[in-house]
Structure 1
Amino acid sequence: MIDFQNSEIFKLKPIEHDKIREDFHKFLIDGEEIFAAFKTIRDQLVFTNKRIIAANVQGITGSKVDYTSLPYSKIQAFSVETSGSLDLDCEIELYLSGLGKVRFEIKGEFDLLSFNKLISEHVLA
Protein backbone atom coordinates (compact mmCIF):
# COMPACT_ATOMS: atom_id res chain seq x y z
CA MET A 1 0.00 0.00 0.00
CA ILE A 2 1.18 3.51 -0.68
CA ASP A 3 2.24 5.01 2.63
CA PHE A 4 -0.23 7.89 2.62
CA GLN A 5 0.48 8.77 6.25
CA ASN A 6 4.24 9.22 5.87
CA SER A 7 4.24 11.09 2.59
CA GLU A 8 3.85 14.83 2.81
CA ILE A 9 2.54 15.26 -0.71
CA PHE A 10 1.97 13.36 -3.92
CA LYS A 11 3.05 15.33 -7.00
CA LEU A 12 0.90 14.32 -9.92
CA LYS A 13 0.62 15.15 -13.57
CA PRO A 14 -2.67 14.69 -15.46
CA ILE A 15 -2.60 12.03 -18.18
CA GLU A 16 -4.92 11.13 -21.02
CA HIS A 17 -7.11 8.03 -20.69
CA ASP A 18 -5.08 6.16 -23.31
CA LYS A 19 -2.01 6.41 -21.01
CA ILE A 20 -3.74 4.73 -18.04
CA ARG A 21 -2.27 1.41 -16.92
CA GLU A 22 -4.23 -1.35 -18.62
CA ASP A 23 -4.55 -3.29 -15.35
CA PHE A 24 -6.70 -0.54 -13.77
CA HIS A 25 -9.55 -1.59 -16.04
CA LYS A 26 -9.49 -5.08 -14.50
CA PHE A 27 -10.35 -3.57 -11.10
CA LEU A 28 -13.43 -1.68 -12.22
CA ILE A 29 -16.83 -3.04 -11.24
CA ASP A 30 -19.99 -2.81 -13.36
CA GLY A 31 -20.95 0.82 -13.86
CA GLU A 32 -17.59 2.15 -12.62
CA GLU A 33 -15.83 4.62 -14.91
CA ILE A 34 -12.56 6.54 -14.69
CA PHE A 35 -13.03 10.30 -14.92
CA ALA A 36 -9.49 11.54 -14.10
CA ALA A 37 -6.02 10.00 -14.24
CA PHE A 38 -2.63 11.14 -12.99
CA LYS A 39 0.93 9.87 -12.80
CA THR A 40 4.12 10.38 -10.86
CA ILE A 41 7.39 9.02 -12.23
CA ARG A 42 6.24 5.38 -12.15
CA ASP A 43 3.03 5.35 -10.13
CA GLN A 44 -0.48 6.19 -11.30
CA LEU A 45 -3.67 7.32 -9.63
CA VAL A 46 -7.19 7.25 -11.07
CA PHE A 47 -10.41 8.78 -9.82
CA THR A 48 -13.50 6.79 -10.74
CA ASN A 49 -17.14 7.47 -10.02
CA LYS A 50 -16.84 5.07 -7.02
CA ARG A 51 -13.33 5.44 -5.56
CA ILE A 52 -9.69 6.40 -5.98
CA ILE A 53 -7.29 3.65 -7.09
CA ALA A 54 -3.53 4.06 -6.71
CA ALA A 55 -0.89 1.87 -8.38
CA ASN A 56 2.44 1.90 -6.54
CA VAL A 57 5.10 0.40 -8.83
CA GLN A 58 7.78 -1.32 -6.75
CA GLY A 59 11.23 -2.78 -7.25
CA ILE A 60 13.91 -2.18 -9.83
CA THR A 61 12.07 -3.89 -12.66
CA GLY A 62 8.66 -2.47 -11.78
CA SER A 63 7.01 -5.87 -12.16
CA LYS A 64 5.60 -5.74 -8.63
CA VAL A 65 2.69 -3.33 -8.20
CA ASP A 66 0.71 -2.53 -5.06
CA TYR A 67 -2.86 -1.29 -5.58
CA THR A 68 -4.74 0.78 -3.01
CA SER A 69 -8.45 1.47 -3.27
CA LEU A 70 -9.89 4.44 -1.40
CA PRO A 71 -13.70 4.47 -1.47
CA TYR A 72 -15.36 7.88 -1.44
CA SER A 73 -17.46 6.74 1.52
CA LYS A 74 -14.29 7.04 3.68
CA ILE A 75 -13.73 10.72 2.79
CA GLN A 76 -14.90 12.86 5.70
CA ALA A 77 -13.86 16.24 4.25
CA PHE A 78 -11.89 17.61 1.31
CA SER A 79 -10.49 20.87 0.02
CA VAL A 80 -9.18 22.13 -3.29
CA GLU A 81 -6.76 24.97 -3.95
CA THR A 82 -6.57 26.48 -7.41
CA SER A 83 -3.31 27.58 -9.01
CA GLY A 84 -2.23 31.21 -8.85
CA SER A 85 -0.02 33.62 -10.77
CA LEU A 86 3.25 32.42 -9.25
CA ASP A 87 2.22 29.03 -7.88
CA LEU A 88 1.08 27.15 -10.98
CA ASP A 89 0.17 23.93 -9.17
CA CYS A 90 -3.25 23.16 -7.75
CA GLU A 91 -3.84 20.98 -4.71
CA ILE A 92 -6.43 18.56 -3.40
CA GLU A 93 -6.60 17.51 0.24
CA LEU A 94 -8.70 14.55 1.32
CA TYR A 95 -9.41 13.66 4.93
CA LEU A 96 -10.03 9.92 5.12
CA SER A 97 -11.22 8.02 8.17
CA GLY A 98 -8.45 5.71 9.31
CA LEU A 99 -5.76 7.37 7.18
CA GLY A 100 -5.92 11.06 7.99
CA LYS A 101 -5.03 13.71 5.44
CA VAL A 102 -3.86 12.82 1.94
CA ARG A 103 -2.59 15.72 -0.17
CA PHE A 104 -2.19 15.70 -3.94
CA GLU A 105 -0.37 18.43 -5.85
CA ILE A 106 -1.28 18.57 -9.52
CA LYS A 107 1.23 20.01 -11.96
CA GLY A 108 0.32 21.33 -15.38
CA GLU A 109 -3.00 22.41 -16.80
CA PHE A 110 -5.95 20.92 -15.01
CA ASP A 111 -9.55 22.09 -14.57
CA LEU A 112 -9.74 21.82 -10.78
CA LEU A 113 -13.14 23.50 -10.48
CA SER A 114 -14.84 20.94 -12.74
CA PHE A 115 -12.95 18.19 -10.92
CA ASN A 116 -14.18 19.57 -7.58
CA LYS A 117 -17.76 19.27 -8.82
CA LEU A 118 -17.22 15.63 -9.81
CA ILE A 119 -15.65 14.76 -6.45
CA SER A 120 -18.48 16.59 -4.65
CA GLU A 121 -21.10 14.58 -6.52
CA HIS A 122 -19.54 11.32 -5.33
CA VAL A 123 -18.47 12.25 -1.80
CA LEU A 124 -21.69 14.05 -0.89
CA ALA A 125 -24.03 11.46 -2.44
Structure 2
Amino acid sequence: MLKKLASDALGLSDIGKIIDKKDFNKVDADDYIMHEDGEQIFFLIKSRTDEYCFTNLALIHVDGTSAVSKKRLVTRYDYYKNIIRSVAIETAGTIDLDCEIKFIIGETKFSIDVDKNQIEQLKDLYKSLVRISHISDENDIMLGKSEETLKIAASACASSKVVDGNAAQIFKDINEYAFNWTKISRENYIKKDFTDVFKNYINN
Protein backbone atom coordinates (compact mmCIF):
# COMPACT_ATOMS: atom_id res chain seq x y z
CA MET A 1 0.00 0.00 0.00
CA LEU A 2 2.77 2.45 0.95
CA LYS A 3 4.58 1.69 -2.32
CA LYS A 4 1.44 2.46 -4.30
CA LEU A 5 0.91 5.76 -2.47
CA ALA A 6 4.54 6.73 -3.00
CA SER A 7 4.28 5.85 -6.66
CA ASP A 8 1.23 8.11 -7.01
CA ALA A 9 3.02 10.96 -5.24
CA LEU A 10 6.06 10.67 -7.50
CA GLY A 11 3.97 10.46 -10.65
CA LEU A 12 5.41 7.06 -11.56
CA SER A 13 1.93 5.54 -11.70
CA ASP A 14 1.27 7.54 -14.85
CA ILE A 15 3.91 5.67 -16.86
CA GLY A 16 2.04 3.16 -18.96
CA LYS A 17 3.03 -0.25 -20.18
CA ILE A 18 2.04 -1.62 -23.57
CA ILE A 19 0.10 -4.82 -22.92
CA ASP A 20 0.81 -7.95 -24.93
CA LYS A 21 -2.00 -9.32 -27.09
CA LYS A 22 -2.29 -12.52 -25.05
CA ASP A 23 -3.20 -10.44 -21.98
CA PHE A 24 -5.88 -8.23 -23.58
CA ASN A 25 -8.65 -10.26 -21.95
CA LYS A 26 -7.20 -9.57 -18.48
CA VAL A 27 -7.71 -5.79 -18.53
CA ASP A 28 -10.80 -3.84 -17.46
CA ALA A 29 -11.28 -2.32 -20.93
CA ASP A 30 -12.00 -5.74 -22.43
CA ASP A 31 -15.35 -5.77 -20.59
CA TYR A 32 -16.48 -2.75 -22.62
CA ILE A 33 -15.47 -4.00 -26.07
CA MET A 34 -18.37 -4.81 -28.41
CA HIS A 35 -17.05 -8.25 -29.28
CA GLU A 36 -20.54 -9.19 -30.47
CA ASP A 37 -20.24 -6.62 -33.28
CA GLY A 38 -16.75 -7.64 -34.39
CA GLU A 39 -14.85 -5.07 -32.33
CA GLN A 40 -11.34 -6.13 -31.36
CA ILE A 41 -8.41 -4.66 -29.47
CA PHE A 42 -5.25 -3.82 -31.44
CA PHE A 43 -3.24 -1.76 -28.97
CA LEU A 44 -3.52 -1.24 -25.23
CA ILE A 45 -1.58 0.95 -22.82
CA LYS A 46 -2.09 0.44 -19.10
CA SER A 47 -0.80 2.53 -16.23
CA ARG A 48 -1.65 2.10 -12.56
CA THR A 49 -4.63 4.43 -12.92
CA ASP A 50 -5.68 4.34 -16.58
CA GLU A 51 -6.16 2.13 -19.60
CA TYR A 52 -6.03 3.39 -23.19
CA CYS A 53 -7.58 0.76 -25.42
CA PHE A 54 -7.36 1.23 -29.20
CA THR A 55 -9.79 -1.00 -31.08
CA ASN A 56 -10.62 -1.13 -34.77
CA LEU A 57 -13.65 1.09 -34.06
CA ALA A 58 -12.78 3.38 -31.15
CA LEU A 59 -10.51 4.52 -28.35
CA ILE A 60 -11.84 3.35 -25.00
CA HIS A 61 -10.39 5.22 -22.03
CA VAL A 62 -10.75 3.62 -18.61
CA ASP A 63 -9.96 6.53 -16.31
CA GLY A 64 -9.02 5.87 -12.68
CA THR A 65 -8.86 8.53 -9.99
CA SER A 66 -5.77 7.01 -8.33
CA ALA A 67 -3.77 3.83 -8.13
CA VAL A 68 -5.48 2.82 -4.87
CA SER A 69 -9.09 3.55 -5.89
CA LYS A 70 -11.43 1.10 -7.62
CA LYS A 71 -13.56 3.88 -9.07
CA ARG A 72 -13.39 4.08 -12.89
CA LEU A 73 -14.89 6.27 -15.61
CA VAL A 74 -15.18 4.61 -19.01
CA THR A 75 -15.36 6.89 -22.06
CA ARG A 76 -15.69 5.73 -25.66
CA TYR A 77 -14.45 7.77 -28.63
CA ASP A 78 -15.65 6.26 -31.92
CA TYR A 79 -13.23 7.22 -34.70
CA TYR A 80 -15.93 8.14 -37.21
CA LYS A 81 -17.49 10.61 -34.77
CA ASN A 82 -14.21 11.92 -33.32
CA ILE A 83 -11.55 12.79 -35.88
CA ILE A 84 -7.98 12.21 -34.72
CA ARG A 85 -5.53 15.06 -35.31
CA SER A 86 -2.28 16.61 -34.08
CA VAL A 87 -0.62 13.23 -33.54
CA ALA A 88 2.90 13.50 -32.09
CA ILE A 89 5.42 11.26 -30.38
CA GLU A 90 8.11 12.40 -27.94
CA THR A 91 11.10 10.15 -27.39
CA ALA A 92 12.86 9.83 -24.05
CA GLY A 93 15.88 11.86 -22.99
CA THR A 94 18.94 10.42 -21.28
CA ILE A 95 17.47 10.42 -17.78
CA ASP A 96 13.79 10.11 -18.72
CA LEU A 97 11.88 7.01 -17.73
CA ASP A 98 9.21 7.45 -20.36
CA CYS A 99 8.38 8.46 -23.91
CA GLU A 100 5.07 10.04 -24.83
CA ILE A 101 2.37 9.94 -27.48
CA LYS A 102 0.08 12.93 -27.90
CA PHE A 103 -3.04 13.44 -30.00
CA ILE A 104 -6.46 15.03 -30.07
CA ILE A 105 -9.54 12.91 -30.68
CA GLY A 106 -12.71 14.88 -31.19
CA GLU A 107 -12.36 17.71 -28.69
CA THR A 108 -10.29 15.76 -26.15
CA LYS A 109 -6.51 16.01 -25.80
CA PHE A 110 -4.50 12.99 -24.74
CA SER A 111 -0.90 12.84 -23.58
CA ILE A 112 0.09 9.29 -22.64
CA ASP A 113 3.39 8.41 -20.97
CA VAL A 114 4.83 5.03 -21.89
CA ASP A 115 7.86 3.08 -20.67
CA LYS A 116 10.79 4.28 -22.80
CA ASN A 117 11.86 0.69 -23.43
CA GLN A 118 8.68 0.21 -25.48
CA ILE A 119 9.32 3.08 -27.89
CA GLU A 120 9.47 0.79 -30.94
CA GLN A 121 5.98 -0.55 -30.24
CA LEU A 122 4.72 2.97 -29.56
CA LYS A 123 5.95 4.02 -33.01
CA ASP A 124 3.53 1.50 -34.51
CA LEU A 125 0.63 3.15 -32.70
CA TYR A 126 1.87 6.57 -33.80
CA LYS A 127 1.87 5.51 -37.47
CA SER A 128 -1.58 3.95 -37.13
CA LEU A 129 -3.08 7.12 -35.63
CA VAL A 130 -1.42 9.33 -38.24
CA ARG A 131 -2.86 7.16 -41.02
CA ILE A 132 -6.34 7.17 -39.47
CA SER A 133 -6.09 10.96 -39.22
CA HIS A 134 -5.17 11.26 -42.91
CA ILE A 135 -7.99 8.98 -44.04
CA SER A 136 -10.57 10.80 -41.92
CA ASP A 137 -9.42 14.20 -43.22
CA GLU A 138 -9.57 13.08 -46.85
CA ASN A 139 -12.99 11.50 -46.41
CA ASP A 140 -14.33 14.59 -44.66
CA ILE A 141 -13.27 16.73 -47.62
CA MET A 142 -14.81 14.33 -50.14
CA LEU A 143 -18.07 14.11 -48.18
CA GLY A 144 -18.26 17.90 -48.13
CA LYS A 145 -17.69 18.07 -51.88
CA SER A 146 -20.36 15.42 -52.44
CA GLU A 147 -22.90 17.38 -50.40
CA GLU A 148 -21.95 20.57 -52.24
CA THR A 149 -22.46 18.84 -55.60
CA LEU A 150 -25.93 17.68 -54.53
CA LYS A 151 -26.89 21.21 -53.46
CA ILE A 152 -25.75 22.62 -56.81
CA ALA A 153 -27.79 19.99 -58.67
CA ALA A 154 -30.86 20.65 -56.50
CA SER A 155 -30.54 24.39 -57.07
CA ALA A 156 -30.28 23.89 -60.83
CA CYS A 157 -33.42 21.72 -60.84
CA ALA A 158 -35.32 24.23 -58.72
CA SER A 159 -34.48 27.12 -61.03
CA SER A 160 -35.37 25.20 -64.20
CA LYS A 161 -38.64 26.27 -65.82
CA VAL A 162 -38.89 23.10 -67.85
CA VAL A 163 -41.30 20.67 -66.21
CA ASP A 164 -42.34 17.65 -68.18
CA GLY A 165 -44.65 15.21 -66.45
CA ASN A 166 -46.49 14.89 -63.15
CA ALA A 167 -45.12 17.35 -60.56
CA ALA A 168 -45.64 14.96 -57.64
CA GLN A 169 -43.77 12.18 -59.41
CA ILE A 170 -40.93 14.52 -60.32
CA PHE A 171 -40.70 15.67 -56.70
CA LYS A 172 -40.66 12.04 -55.53
CA ASP A 173 -37.94 11.11 -58.03
CA ILE A 174 -35.74 14.04 -57.03
CA ASN A 175 -36.08 13.24 -53.31
CA GLU A 176 -35.31 9.58 -53.90
CA TYR A 177 -32.26 10.46 -55.97
CA ALA A 178 -31.03 12.91 -53.30
CA PHE A 179 -31.53 10.33 -50.55
CA ASN A 180 -29.62 7.64 -52.45
CA TRP A 181 -26.84 10.08 -53.33
CA THR A 182 -26.45 11.02 -49.66
CA LYS A 183 -26.59 7.38 -48.53
CA ILE A 184 -23.92 6.28 -51.01
CA SER A 185 -21.71 9.26 -50.16
CA ARG A 186 -21.85 8.49 -46.45
CA GLU A 187 -21.07 4.82 -47.08
CA ASN A 188 -18.07 5.80 -49.23
CA TYR A 189 -16.67 8.63 -47.12
CA ILE A 190 -17.50 7.78 -43.50
CA LYS A 191 -15.11 5.02 -42.44
CA LYS A 192 -15.98 3.34 -39.17
CA ASP A 193 -13.72 0.28 -39.12
CA PHE A 194 -9.93 0.75 -39.28
CA THR A 195 -8.93 -2.90 -38.99
CA ASP A 196 -6.89 -2.63 -42.20
CA VAL A 197 -4.85 0.29 -40.85
CA PHE A 198 -3.99 -1.38 -37.54
CA LYS A 199 -3.11 -4.66 -39.24
CA ASN A 200 -0.81 -2.79 -41.61
CA TYR A 201 1.21 -1.07 -38.89
CA ILE A 202 0.87 -3.10 -35.72
CA ASN A 203 2.48 -6.51 -35.27
CA ASN A 204 0.98 -8.27 -32.25
- TM-score, normalised with respect to structure 2: 0.46
Contact 2:92–2:116 (Cα < 8 Å) also in 1: no
Number of matched residues? 113
CA distances 1:6-37 after superposition (whole Å, capped 9, x unpaired): xxxx5322222313224133x35634321111
Is 2:43 the counterpart of 1:39?
no
Cα displacement string for residues 55-103 of structure 1 (whole angstroms, at most 9, x for unaligned residues):
12469762x532111233332321112234332421111123433x321
For 2:85, the equivalent position in structure 1 comes to: 76
| Change in 2 beyond 3 A, CA 1:85/1:69 | same
Alpha-carbon distance change, 28 to 55 in structure 1, aligned in 2, over 3 angstroms: farther
> Would you say the 8 A contact 1:51–1:71 is kept in 2?
yes
Paired residue for 1:15, among 14, 19, 25?
19
TM-score, length-scaled by structure 1: 0.69
Query: Of 41, 51, 63, which residue of structure 2 is paired with 1:56?
Result: 63
**More strand by percentage:** 1
Structure 1 alignment gaps of length 5 or more: 1-9
The match for 2:100 among 66, 84, 91 is 91
Measure, in 2, the Cα distance between the counterparts of 1:28 and 1:80: 30
Query: Which one has more relative contact order, counting CA pairs under 8 Å at least 6 apart?
Result: 1
Aligned to 1:3: none
Identity among equivalent positions (%) equals 28
How large is the Cα RMSD of the aligned pairs?
2.7
Structure 2: where are the runs of 5+ without partners? 1-13, 136-204
More helix by share: 2
